């Protein structure tokens, strides 16, 4: 949860308190104001440089950290679309855990190492990128800005990031690869119909994707409360863009579903998927295959046993369940069990260079980010995405200097401790 959200939550809490019978008898509101009024930035000790969410930045360059982009995105993006992006599930325990999880771990800096030059070069499944920061698959990016996934691709190109394209992309894979001018990965939602997966996989392989990451954590319903609440305040006519006459009609307007035979399709996700799906997938593609959404070491071992090329430790940015399990908490047991057999990528809640460095010290190969670049996209389009990714790179670079690591291989388990 961003600090902007925290301030909003505190305000809501105060409004609730002010209306509470407990405080109704004289002095209650004054007590609430004096004692509980949100301080500009708590519990951050930097009281002389308070975060002021009401003073929005006007250009990407003004952003000091990725959080500065979020309120601008909130201002620009329609409430329902912003709610779709921001939402967790139920009580959003996992959403908070994804951020709070990082506080459980401390970095253990080494000194007197020459870090006048740091290389963040990272090899991921045989390709070398300038940093370990990966653009996570996020669906429907045109709902945040007209630049959509093509703008994100141009921003990924500017910083030489690996980009993973969502099945629910607004743009077709061909356009996105052209914008990135390099191979990307594709994220697959299996759906309830094998032939649709087959169509998508063949199309993206032909277009030049080198890996397919099958999302395995969206296998049930979900109560996206923040989305549903913000939708109520959105007065636009949604039917103008979303054809809700049928699932097929709705999907046909998206970049990847057009061209597929969607008859018999009842779900875009698959609640019946088992490891057999990966065997079938192996038979139809030469692309590398990963499972996205692993949280338990047992599943990580099964993935390696099944011959997968990698896994993404993810809880879908707290959008698929409210288990309360953060990915940074899940990572150590997974790294230990996998024993280096396959690369491990991780996402969910990464907002700072220190978050990235902690995961790499623990043994992750790379870190994917979702919402931070979407805040940039919603705020300023492609330049906002570029700025979000740039700030994450700059922070990661500085953090590597701070812990005494001139290259990625110097980020070792001894540099991170559970607090």
Ligand X SMILES: Cc1cc2nc3c(=O)[nH]c(=O)nc-3n(C[C@H](O)[C@H](O)[C@H](O)COP(=O)(O)O)c2cc1C
* C-beta of 292 vs 393, nearer to ligand X: 292
CB of 319 to ligand X, least distance (A): 6
Burial letters for 122-149: b for 16+ Cβ neighbours within 10 Å, e otherwise? bebbeeebebbbbbbbbbbbbbbbebbb
CB of 116 to ligand X, least distance (A): 31
* C-beta of 214 vs 335, nearer to ligand X: 214
CB of 219 to ligand X, least distance (A): 12
Q: Determine the 3-state secondary structure of 321 from DSSP.
A: coil
* C-beta of 352 vs 410, nearer to ligand X: 352
User: Distance between CA 355 and CA 263 in Å, rounded?
Assistant: 44
* C-beta of 168 vs 415, nearer to ligand X: 168
Query: What residues make contact with ligand X under the rule CB under 6 A?
Result: 84-85, 98, 136-139, 166-168, 187, 215, 292, 314, 316-317, 319, 347-350, 369-371, 374
Query: Measured at CB, which residue is nearest to ligand X?
Result: 370
DSSP 150-212: HHHHHHHHHTT--BEE-TT-SS-HHHHHHHHTS--EEEE---S-HHHHHHHHHHHHHHT--EE
Q: Determine the 3-state secondary structure of 236 from DSSP.
A: coil
* Active site (annotated) includes residue 267: no
CB of 169 to ligand X, least distance (A): 8
Q: Can you say how many angstroms the Cα of residue 382 is from the centroid of all Cα atoms in its chain? A: 17
HSE-CB at 4 with a 13 A cutoff on CA atoms is: 18
Evaluate whether 192 touches 268 at the Cβ level (below 8 Å): no
* C-beta of 118 vs 377, nearer to ligand X: 377
Q: Which of left, alpha, beta for 126 (phi over 0: left; psi -120 to 50: alpha)?
A: left
CB of 406 to ligand X, least distance (A): 27
Residues in the chain: 419
Residue numbers annotated as active site: 316
């Amino acid at each position: 949860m961003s600090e902007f959200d925290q301030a909003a939550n505190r305000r809501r809490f105060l409004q609730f308190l002010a209306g509470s019978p407990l405080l109704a008898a004289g002095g209650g509101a004054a007590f609430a104001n004096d004692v509980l009024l949100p301080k500009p930035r708590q519990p951050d000790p930097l009281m002389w440089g308070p975060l002021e969410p009401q003073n929005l930045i006007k250009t990407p360059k003004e952003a000091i950290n990725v959080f500065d982009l979020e309120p601008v995105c909130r201002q620009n993006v329609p409430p329902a679309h912003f709610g779709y992006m921001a939402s967790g599930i139920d009580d959003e325990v996992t959403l908070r855990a994804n951020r709070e999880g990082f506080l459980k771990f401390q970095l253990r800096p080494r000194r007197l190492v020459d870090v006048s030059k740091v290389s963040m070069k990272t090899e991921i499944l045989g390709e070398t990128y300038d940093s370990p920061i990966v653009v996570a698959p996020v669906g429907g990016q045109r709902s945040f800005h007209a630049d959509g996934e093509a703008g994100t691709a141009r921003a990924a190109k500017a910083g030489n990031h690996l980009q993973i394209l969502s099945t629910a992309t607004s743009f077709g894979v061909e356009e996105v690869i052209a914008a990135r001018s390099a191979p990307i990965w594709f994220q697959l939602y299996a759906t309830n119909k094998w032939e649709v997966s087959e169509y998508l996989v063949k199309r993206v392989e032909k277009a030049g994707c080198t890996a397919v990451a099958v999302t395995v954590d969206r296998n049930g319903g979900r109560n996206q409360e923040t989305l549903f609440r913000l939708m109520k305040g959105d007065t636009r006519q949604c039917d103008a863009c979303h054809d809700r006459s049928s699932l097929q009609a709705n999907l046909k307007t998206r970049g990847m579903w057009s061209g597929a035979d969607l008859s018999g399709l009842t779900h875009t996700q698959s609640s019946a998927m088992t490891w057999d799906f990966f065997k079938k997938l192996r038979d139809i593609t030469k692309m590398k295959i990963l499972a996205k959404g692993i949280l338990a070491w047992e599943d990580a071992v099964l993935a390696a046993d099944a011959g997968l090329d990698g896994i993404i430790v993810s809880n879908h940015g707290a959008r698929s369940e409210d288990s309360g399990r953060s990915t940074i908490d899940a990572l150590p047991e997974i790294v230990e069990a996998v024993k280096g057999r396959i690369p491990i990528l991780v996402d969910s809640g990464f907002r700072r260079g220190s978050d990235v460095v902690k995961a790499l010290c623990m043994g992750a190969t790379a870190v994917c980010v979702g919402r931070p670049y979407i805040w940039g996209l919603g705020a300023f389009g492609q330049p906002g995405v570029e700025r979000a990714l740039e700030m994450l790179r700059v922070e990661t670079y500085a953090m590597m200097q701070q812990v005494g690591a001139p290259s990625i291989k110097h980020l070792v388990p001894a540099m991170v401790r559970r607090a």
